[in-house]
Amino acid sequence: MSERKFRYVGTRPIRHDGMDKVTGRANFGADFTLAGLLVGKVLRSPHAHARIRSIDTSRAAALPGVHAVATSADLPEQEHGPGVDMHDLTRNILAREKVLYDGHAVAAVAAISDRIASEALALIDVDYEVLPPVLSVDEAIRPDAVLLDESLRCEGPDPKPAGPTNVAARLQIGRGDVAKGFAEADEIVEREFTTQAVHQGYIEPHAVAARTGADGQSVVWCCTQGHFAVRSYSARLLGLDVSQIKVIPSEIGGGFGGKTTVYLEPLAILLSRKAGRPVKMVMTRAEVFRASGPAGGTRIRLKVGVTRAGRITAADATLLYEAGAFKGSAVMAGVMCMFAPYDVANVRLEGFDILVNKPKGAAYRAPGAPMAAFASETVLDELARRIGMDPIELRLRNAVREGSQAVYGPKLKAVGFVECLEAARNHPHYKAPLGPNQGRGVAAGFWFNGNLQSSAQVSLNEDGTATVVSGCPDIGGSRTSLAIMAAEELGIPVERVRPVVADTETVGYNDVTGGSRVTFATGTAVIEAARDVVRQLRERAAALWGIDVAHVKWEDGRALSQNGVTQEPLGIADITRKAAQTGGPILGRSSWMAKGNGPSFAVHIGDVELDPETGRVVVKRYTAVQDAGRAIHPSYVEGQLQGGVAQGVGWALNEAYLYDAQGHMQNAGFLDYRMPVASDLPMIDTVIVEVPNPHHPYGVRGVGETPIVPPLATVANALHDASGVRMCDLPMSPPAVLEALESRR
């Protein structure tokens, strides 16, 4: 596989959807309009925690211009279940017994104008019994803690809380003898780390339009990372057959995991069914922050031991993750990823999924892993300094390789962690001189990468061009990547392949665009569908020539005769123009449950400059090294690496949800929620390492999530190098850094 010579893979064609996007012609979620469209709006709780005594919507329903009003009474009760818990999801869509966070949806209306819809919301009477909010994992696990859900019992192995609790689950993985490992260590570091809730920061807010016909069929247009998931979740929440809902994905202005669930979509369908007219709903930016899922805050206690020779002898960690108002934090992934880059003989990793009065957490790019790596990679940096060893050398001496047994279970196939470490060590950045008040940090990161279900179609047009149809929304250039793979198999220029993201009725089922899975999983489906097309092309050429198909070879987009008789080669257009004579249209299909997703590793180098008078930290230089397996479109890989760094730097230095004592969010907007802008970042250098994944025809590994894992620790380690201050709490904002400097003085 590694010796294959590629013609189109690894090139950088212009993206197929680029022109529409840069000219503003592309349709995003809020761009859809329909005749008779109603405006949908949501009434949201002003309290972080309160029991709902009653809801009276009669005045709102009587307001002229209001066509529909909905509360949780309009949604059928759901049972608890595995996977996405519908019992909890229906209560997140519309609160039932309680409101559980500031901004929790309570009711929804559809009216003829924005003004009337807002007036209707003001006429809904809700009687609340306000309860004390629980705003941190520390508060949530106290013996006398206020309970969010009195029926909740902790799942998982003992020891765990007994009776009603805010701890939804306890989990543990490990191996070896941790006590023995620490006894063998020459140096031990034990520290505690905290991170705050942060948002994905997508520029496009959640938006949906829904229309229901007289036959009861609903059509939905929305910005989503998974329109099949929208169909499935909405059908279950509304008690409908899946066949009663068709979902058409719009272009998506960012998601990063935050658009893999539903918020407005079931409400828009419900309101349209009640009103008999189409309904459009768009979140405000404040609603996005208050009521859609962030990555939750964490508290992590970690202890690691090493020998003077740089061998990690033991690691012991407890990870407490905020789930938000309903169970399901990313703690499992955090536990599994924490020491995944390292071959540690003795390790114990324990995690807790904890309810707090904040929005239900959602996926955010390698969910759970950045916080875990912040702790582990910071401690490894400190240990390297204690034993006087280069931080990359320490990691090399413990790095997993092909055949290593991962902490989370499987034996690894070919992986590129060692190659990434060596590439970082050999990069000019690593030895470049530093200026006054500057420091350099290094950290590594890991992500599993996803697989899941994918299907795709490749069809040929009569002029020899091709169409690739998939069901995965394009959030990172996957249209062009899929087109490149189809072009490689067919042997035609990428520009002659048209990639299409189809609706739920046009293509077979596809799981969400998430988990860095699309180029790997759906890409494999496209390759198999294209190979199906090539097989048919060979059969058609054989029929036209009157020879056995075994004597037909496909090469460089042409059928070549190999039966000893000279035949004029046939291109795709030569065959498709005569398709009616040889069997009809040519269409290839593939559907499969992907396996062998190929985990990804990254190593980052970052330089910062500290202003000791103000505590301001500026990132001056940054290099991201990552194993992509095979870069289908290198520009997109580089963009993923740079985007992950930008988000990770923001997480490290400024971003955080801020709440008052009553649980009201204080910075629900981009003015006060401080995301980095271009002037906050340097040019971000990238190095693509290619250690092919043996489970993909071309060697692809997902790349989208791993880049956000190392930056938190990279920046923290660089700040320590610049100042001598070890920051264990995020964000490392100027006031926090200044306080740490003053304490050190």
Are residue 444 and residue 364 in the same domain, yes or no? yes
**Token digits for 190?**
């034990």
Alpha helices in 17-136 (DSSP H): 18-23, 58-62, 86-93, 114-122
Instruction: Return mean pLDDT, the chain.
Output: 97
Q: Tell me, what's the pLDDT at 4?
A: 87
**610: β partners:** 617
Q: List, in order, residues 6 or more apart from 18 with CB less than 8 Å away.
A: none
Question: pLDDT digit string (tens) for 206-262?
Answer: 999 999 999 999 999 999 999 999 999 999 999 999 999 999 999 999 999 999 999
Place of tokens 């996957």: 478
Q: What are phi and psi of 186, to 5 degrees?
A: -90, -30
Instruction: Label the pairing between strands 497-501 and 312-324.
Output: unpaired
Residue 168 included in any domain: no
153 pLDDT more than 50: yes
Q: Of 224, 251, 282, which residue constitutes the final position of a domain?
A: 282
**Dist. CA 690–CA 420, nearest whole Å:** 9
Question: pLDDT digit string (tens) for 431-489?
Answer: 999 999 999 999 999 999 999 999 999 999 999 999 999 999 999 899 999 999 999 99
What separation in angstroms does the CA of 113 have from each of 64, 70, 120, 124?
11, 17, 11, 17
522 pLDDT more than 60: yes
Q: Work out the average pLDDT over 130-157.
A: 98
Question: pLDDT digit string (tens) for 366-412?
Answer: 999 999 999 999 999 999 999 999 999 999 999 999 999 999 999 99
Are residue 358 and residue 424 in the same domain, yes or no? yes
Place of tokens 């690593």: 430
Q: Of 593, 621, 644, which residue constitutes the final position of a domain?
A: 593
Residue 605 included in any domain: yes
Q: Tell me, what's the pLDDT at 2?
A: 45
The pTM of this model reads 0.97
Q: Work out the average pLDDT over 702-725.
A: 98
701 pLDDT more than 80: yes
Domain count, the chain: 3
Q: Per-residue DSSP letters for 160-198?
A: ---SS-SEEEEEEEEES-HHHHHHT-SEEEEEEEEE--B
We report the CATH number of the domain holding residue 723 as: 3.30.365.10
Are residue 222 and residue 75 in the same domain, yes or no? yes
Q: Work out the average pLDDT over 17-45.
A: 96
What separation in angstroms does the CA of 707 have from each of 8, 378, 530?
25, 17, 31
Q: Could you tell me which of 328, 379, 287, 372 has the C-alpha nearest to residue 101? A: 287
Question: pLDDT digit string (tens) for 632-665?
Answer: 999 999 999 999 999 999 999 999 999 999 999 9
Q: Is 477 helix (H, G, I), strand (E, B) or coil?
A: coil
Are residue 445 and residue 455 in the same domain, yes or no? no
Q: What are phi and psi of 105, to 5 degrees?
A: -65, 135
Q: Cα–Cα–Cα angle for 710, 714, 717, nearest 5°?
A: 145
Q: Tell me, what's the pLDDT at 79?
A: 96
Contact 383, 201 (CB under 8 A): no
What separation in angstroms does the CA of 610 have from each of 453, 616, 675, 676?
47, 6, 19, 17
Question: pLDDT digit string (tens) for 529-587?
Answer: 999 999 999 999 999 999 999 999 999 999 999 988 889 999 999 999 999 999 999 99
Q: What percent of the chain has pLDDT over 90?
A: 98
**Dist. CA 631–CA 638, nearest whole Å:** 9
Are residue 310 and residue 423 in the same domain, yes or no? yes
**Dist. CA 52–CA 743, nearest whole Å:** 46
**Dist. CA 551–CA 530, nearest whole Å:** 20
Identify the band that residue 345 occupies on the pLDDT scale cut at 50, 70 and 90: very high
Are residue 513 and residue 440 in the same domain, yes or no? no
Q: Is 119 helix (H, G, I), strand (E, B) or coil?
A: helix
**Dist. CA 358–CA 136, nearest whole Å:** 9
Q: Which helix (H) or strand (E) holds 544?
A: helix 523-545
Residues in the chain: 745
Residue 56 included in any domain: yes
Identify the band that residue 3 occupies on the pLDDT scale cut at 50, 70 and 90: confident
Q: Tell me, what's the pLDDT at 1?
A: 42
Are residue 494 and residue 573 in the same domain, yes or no? yes
Are residue 512 and residue 642 in the same domain, yes or no? no
597 pLDDT more than 90: no
**Dist. CA 257–CA 2, nearest whole Å:** 31
Q: Tell me, what's the pLDDT at 201?
A: 97
**Dist. CA 65–CA 558, nearest whole Å:** 63
**Dist. CA 125–CA 362, nearest whole Å:** 30
Residue 11 included in any domain: no
Q: Which helix (H) or strand (E) holds 35?
A: none
Q: What residue numbers bound the domain in which 424 lies?
A: 298-449+598-744
**Dist. CA 207–CA 220, nearest whole Å:** 11
416 pLDDT more than 90: yes
Are residue 339 and residue 247 in the same domain, yes or no? no
Contact 729, 194 (CB under 8 A): yes
The 3-class secondary structure across 287-333, one letter per residue, is HHHHHCCCECCEEEEEEEEECCCCCEEEEEEEEEEEEECCCCCCHHH
Residue 64 included in any domain: yes
Residue 181 included in any domain: no
What separation in angstroms does the CA of 539 have from each of 177, 478, 587?
61, 30, 13
On the 0-12 / 13-18 / 19+ scale of CB atoms within 10 A, 645 is: buried
Residue 379 included in any domain: yes
Q: Is 510 helix (H, G, I), strand (E, B) or coil?
A: coil
Contact 36, 501 (CB under 8 A): no
Residue 561 included in any domain: yes
**Dist. CA 630–CA 488, nearest whole Å:** 14
Q: Which helix (H) or strand (E) holds 36?
A: none
Q: Could you tell me which of 265, 282, 277, 283 has the C-alpha nearest to residue 220? A: 265
**Dist. CA 477–CA 8, nearest whole Å:** 16
Sheet holding 66-71, edge to edge: 66-71, 105-111, 38-44, 279-282, 207-212, 218-222, 245-249
Are residue 589 and residue 631 in the same domain, yes or no? no
**200: β partners:** none
Q: What are phi and psi of 291, to 5 degrees?
A: -130, 5
Q: Tell me, what's the pLDDT at 189?
A: 98
Residue 13 is classified by DSSP as P
Q: Is 280 helix (H, G, I), strand (E, B) or coil?
A: strand
Are residue 732 and residue 606 in the same domain, yes or no? yes
Q: Of 540, 575, 593, which residue constitutes the final position of a domain?
A: 593
Are residue 485 and residue 426 in the same domain, yes or no? no
Residues 394/396/400/404 CA torsion (nearest 10 deg): -100
Q: Is 583 helix (H, G, I), strand (E, B) or coil?
A: coil
Q: What do you get for the CA distance between the two ends of the chain, in Å?
A: 58
**Dist. CA 101–CA 602, nearest whole Å:** 36
